[in-house]
Structure 1
Amino acid sequence: MIPISCHAVSGVALSTMDGETKLLVMKRVKGGFWCHVAGTIEEGETGWQTIIREVSEETGITVNELYNGLYLEQFYEAALNRIMVVPVFVVYCPPNQTITLNDEHTEYRWCSLAEAKALVSFPGQKALYDHIWHYFVDNPPSPLMRVDIC
């Protein structure tokens, strides 16, 4: 048997930079790969509360507009013989959003879809970014996907 675990969430931040929509990717210290925000759910938190905290901790962004990405990242962890399922959120940021990285990342880039997909290492990331771009950039998200964070 292979157990399925869900104890983390992730979030993709979008901002308009000089009139063009961009997606935030950051280079992790641990592993040296490019990724979006992710983190472990702490006791007493909901998934959406976790992503707001993680986005703030990792980037300095204050989340004011949050959406359910209607996407689950999933992958097999061989060392633990488990399947990880990670719900994805989308954060719309103000234009020209500034970033203040914490010690988990060495650098960041606001990227076009093609640039982000060229930087990331995993096929699942590329598929996620295609999904986000289609449902949150090329098309407006449904109001039903908005997370009420008040």
Structure 2
Amino acid sequence: MIPVNTSIVSGVALSEINGEIKMLLMKRVKGGFWCHVAGTIKDGETGINAIVREFQEETQIEVENLYNAQFLEQFYEPSANVIELIPVFVVMCPPEQAVVLNEEHTDYKWCSLEEALELAPFPNQHAVFKHVWSYFVEKKANALYRVEVR
């Protein structure tokens, strides 16, 4: 039997950078790969609380415009023998959003979809980025996906 872990959230930040919509990718210290924001839900937190906190901790982005991306990342983690099931959020940032990384990352880049697909190594990341691009960049974000930040 393989257990399912549902204690992680992830999020993709979007901002207009130099006149074009871009998504934020960061280079992780652990593993050295490019990724979006993610982290573990702490005791007493909702998924919404956790993603707002993770954005603050990892990037110092203050989340105001939060959306449920209507997408679940899912993959098998062999080292833990667990299936990860991770709700994805989208953070709509103001133009030219500043980023201040914490110690978990060494670099960041605002990317087009093509750049993100080139940098990110995992097929599941590609699926997340394509979904977010389709439903939040190519189309206007559906108001029904909006999540109230408390």
- Tell me which interval the TM-score lies in, with the shorter structure as reference length: over 0.9
Residue type of the alignment partner of 2:100: T
CA deviation vs aligned residue, 1:31-63 (integer Å, no higher than 9, x gap): 000000000000000001100000010001000
Runs of 4+ with deviation above 6 angstroms: none
1:46-94: CA deviation from partner (whole Å, max 9, x where unpaired):
0011000000100010001000011100110112221010100000000
Residues 79-137 of structure 1: CA deviation (Å, up to 9, x unaligned):
22210101000000000001000000000000100001100000010111000000000
1:1-150 counterparts in 2 under 5 A? 1-150=1-150
Output the aligned Cα RMSD.
Answer: 0.7
> Which amino acid letter does the alignment assign opposite residue 8 of structure 1?
I
| Alignment partners' CA distance in 2, 1:93 and 1:139 | 16
Tell me the SS of whatever aligns to 1:80.
Answer: coil
Segments of 5+ residues of structure 2 without an aligned counterpart are: none
TM-score w.r.t. the length of structure 2 is 0.98
Letter in 2 for 1:114: E
In the alignment, the residues of structure 1 paired with residue 36 and residue 115 of structure 2 have an alpha-carbon distance, to the nearest angstrom, of 13
AA matched with 2:78? A
> Tell me, which stretches of 5 or more residues in structure 1 are unaligned?
none
Instruction: Give the letter for the 1:144 counterpart.
Output: L
Distance, in Å, in 2 between the alignment partners of 1:46 and 1:75 is 22
> Helix, strand or coil for the counterpart of 1:136?
helix
